[in-house]
A and B are shown apart, each in its own frame.
Chain A
Amino acid sequence: MARGADPDEDLIRRVGRGEPAACQALVARKLPRLLALARRMLGDPVEAEDVAQEAFLRAWKQAPKWQPGAAKFDTWLHRVTLNLCYDRLRQRRETPMAEPPDRPDPGPAPDRGLEASELGAQVDRALQALPDRQREAIVLCHYQELSNIEAAELMGVSVEAMESLLSRGRRALRTALAELAPAGARPSRGA
């Protein structure tokens, strides 16, 4: 993980003292990222909210005893969230459902239109169809915008191994989306 100053250090110290403004600032800064991470890892909006809530409960407990220097708080929070996601993914495998949960997805903002909404839904379905580790690599690098070193450390693999997961994931996405797209709109494979 990237060393150096932790941009959240002062905020976490204030959260540990129970300052309401600091708690609100931490939620404003981290909740959208954690929710997006859980949502894309799990593909289920309700479970994603449960995970985000549980991750914050752990953050509240951790803040008063947080020791700066060992890891960045954001990296720790990502690790906690990913662990919670993997717990749920494991439970799904152990108790397979007859059908995936039918839960309404809030989707994109109305002004983005139906076409964007449908494309986004197709991309989400393609992401969910990827193997967990490939999806994790793409989510961490593309959506969470972590550095390659941070993402590899979070995943517990070398940077080279993570690059391999990324490449395979992106290639699988391309194939899945090409199959979904109308024939005229498919990207040419030789491009």
Chain B
Amino acid sequence: MDNSWKHYNSHKTDNFFDELVTDTGRPRVAARQAVKLLQGMSSEEMAARRGAAELAIREMGISFTIYSEGKNIDRAWPFDIIPRIIPAKEWRKVSHGLAQRSRALNCFINDIYNKQKILKDGLLPADIVLESGNYKPQCANVTPKFGAWAHICGTDLVRDRDGKFYVLEDNLRVPSGVSYMLENREITKRVLPELFKNYSILPVDDYPSRLYSTLASLSPREQRRPCIAVLTPGIFNSAYFEHAYLAQGMGAELVEGSDLFVDEDECLYMRTVDGPTRVDVVYRRIDDDFLDPEVFLEDSALGVPGIMRAWKKGNVAIANAPGSGVADDKVVYAFVPAMIRYYLGEEPSLASVKTYLCMNQPDRDYVLANLDKLVVKPANESGGYGLMVGPHASKAKRAEFAKLIEANPRNYIAQPTLALSTAPTFIDDEVEPRHLDLRPFILHGKNTWVTPGGLTRVALEKGSLVVNSSQGGGSKDTWIVEGSIK
């Protein structure tokens, strides 16, 4: 009688794809066991499990709050206990598409900083790429090992009304969030252990060792255990927890810029109690601009003077390689399917969102005529800045964007508004549908590897499509489950 799911189907509408429940209101095959078990729990029981999860987060996340000193960075991240479940069969296709995409993007970056064949062949206009702020001329004429640049990529996926996954954007600079993915699984294991009984769920916890292997493969020296350092901006960075977490998981050194220096031999060293120790691979979690004051921002105290010299000489590997951001420009995004065909001779197996480039006359005309249906994004901003969601925007706002587009068409793209899928989420004392996305992580070195699942972010506010943790977003454990379900 106090079943927290009783209103779920009336909350749900046919306008959105639901991850766990079909349009007819029945659990999807892969989710059946889990939903059955959860539906058997009273609201009180569910609330108790949520309480246990919060406690676990506090315990594990002590590391978050203490850096804040009660002020700036308080990070008990909201977590929903109901996992998102994806059948392995479906995931394999997505995973294949992600790997394919990562290979093409890496070919593209390497091409742009070397021969620029793709530009010469006219597949995309040169000025789009070369005039972008993410193109770093300082990186030209370098070919990192395996031609790999974006070694760690976080690609945001959403599921539209048709139930199909679409790529929303690729994050090729310093994508974060993977530690949440790992922690979410830990929490679910603690608070809903019985859920695991009837499932075979692909494990996620080997990510740190996969990351280690990828990074180690980049080492310029042949060594059994190359020296890997995770470069963090320091304890006040909001992702410091993740930096420390990954360094520890890999048995790597967690370093700050001041721990490193480049010696006369143009090699990178860290200052240790045994004297200078050579570093082979830097997994940097600071932006290009702060990496090397000799080359980028002069007054950066976070970076290491000379590290670019060492990198260009091939004496140290940097992951992701500086300049990788050139491929996550929103205009460049529109050309990724073409890149896949061009570099790999394959058909893209993962769909992209239809993208209108305002710099092209026909696209622009369409965009201006349909502003109320489209999402307009600036090409070079990230994190949802300067974005207009047509259906929710005022008339004045739309007029303002029309002007902006006319003034600087290169700087804008537009996409249809997507109907982000929903999943059952325990809110107060009831289970309600909430919108979500998914960020898998792709590792690319000698080989390419995709996390089974990824980080599911969920908009906790009713009807909201904003999943960012800074704006009321939470997260869910993401399960990729093998077929034969009892």
- Do the two chains belong together in a single complex? no
